[in-house]
Amino acid sequence: MNQTDGGRFATAYWVTGPREGELRTESLPEPGEGAALVRSLYSGYSRGTESVVLANHVPPRVAGLMQAPHQEGSFPCPVKYGYLSVGVVEDGPDELRGRTVFCLYPHQDRYVVPVAELAVIPDGVPAQRAVLAGAVETAVNALWDAAPRLGDRIAVVGCGLVGGAVLALLRRFPLERLQAVDRDPGKASLADALGVDFALPDEALDDCDLVVHCSAHAEGLARSLELAGDDGEVLELSWYGEQPVSIPLGADFHARRLALRSSQVGNIALARRHRRTRSERLGLALQLLTDPVFDKFLSGPTDFADLPRDAEALASGVLDGPCHVIRYPGAEEDHVHADRP
């Protein structure tokens, strides 16, 4: 953090045009009562959503709904975006100083937020792994929406960050069958790490009670409808941005009484909306991250200073992996676990 004439400054990543971005300096307020100053250690680049933002393809109709917490600017650009940040509290309430925390904040090296928006990372969760909290929270919400049952036959189509997180949680359920489905054979390694059967779309098993679709491709959604058994349900987790989607509802969708519905993390799933708060949902996601299998989701890191250069490679998949870690100065010298100071 730069400091001049008593003022505090931070550096943030902004999307400035289609597939273009830059680092910008901005001033920081002093953390008043009920606020904290956080120094970033790592942030996660969520390839699906952030690729849509980088391409300037956020539909105007849902621009307001898709705003991230603490986002600045507006779609399509310039916009400061991101929501998977892990850092250490440098200033604020005594009980938080020195603690490692997760926050839904854009890619920025330091920031001031209300303490109510910080989630302390549990012991046993490394700081890099904690950037996955947002994806695991999305998966938790999806399973609250889907309500899988004992002995279900389930397929997850699309094994990126969110699909992989859903698989990681579903593998703990007493299911008859769980299959990971993706057109990329390279995703078999993630399925193997999770102990889950893998299949290419044409080889996937049908007659599923539930299909969770996460591929963000119309072909994946169409195949999901084919995999669902009679009266089965397809839960749609993909976000398509401005991309039009055509699906074959004129085939056996109507005759077989299939159900298609969306799940999105912006609101708590209706089944738990009156019984869980957002902080409780995020706390559950962080506790679930004590499972070391989630390290298989991480790639990188890329140094924060190189993010404007590497963003296109991240969006296009040249830099591979479900979640790419962005590393901030000093992160390697910090404690790795969320220990008490």
Which of 133, 126, 109 shows the shortest CA–CA distance to 335?
126
Tokens found for residue 317: 């998949």
Mean per-residue pLDDT over the chain, rounded: 91
Residue 7: its pLDDT value, please?
Answer: 60
Residue 287 makes CB contacts below 8 A (sequence gap 6+) with 122
Mean pLDDT of 121-149: 96
Residue 147 has pLDDT above 90, yes or no: yes
Distance of CA 265 to the CA centre of its chain: 10
And the tokens for 40? Answer: 């970033």
Is the pLDDT at 99 greater than 80? The verdict is yes
Note whether 142 and 167 are within 8 A (CB).
no
Contacts of residue 166, Cβ cutoff 8 Å, sequence gap at least 6: 139, 142, 143, 156, 212, 214, 237
- The confidence band for 3, taking pLDDT boundaries of 50, 70 and 90, is low
- Rounded mean pLDDT, 266-287: 93
Angle at which helices 47-54 and 307-316 pack, to 10 degrees? Answer: 110
- Give 81's contacts (C-beta < 8 A, 6+ positions apart): 15, 50, 53, 68, 71, 106, 107
112 strand-pairing partners: 37
Domains of the chain (ranges, CATH numbers): 3-132+289-333 (3.90.180.10), 135-270 (3.40.50.720)
pLDDT at 167 over 80: yes
pLDDT computed for residue 2 by the predictor: 56
| Dihedral sign for Cα atoms in the order 144, 176, 205, 132 | positive
Where does the pLDDT of residue 4 fall: very low under 50, low under 70, confident under 90, or very high at 90 and above? very low
| Residue 47 predicted with pLDDT over 70 | yes
Residue 286 has pLDDT above 80, yes or no: yes
pLDDT band at 334 (very low <50, low <70, confident <90, very high): low
Contact 323, 298 (CB under 8 A): yes
Positions of E strands within the chain? 3-4, 7-17, 20-28, 35-46, 72-73, 79-80, 85-91, 100-103, 110-114, 119-120, 153-157, 177-181, 197-199, 208-213, 228-236, 259-262, 298-303, 323-327
pTM of the shown model: 0.89
- CB contact set of 267 (below 8 Å; sequence gap of 6+): 273
E strand or H helix that includes residue 256? none
Residue matched to tokens 């390839």 = 47
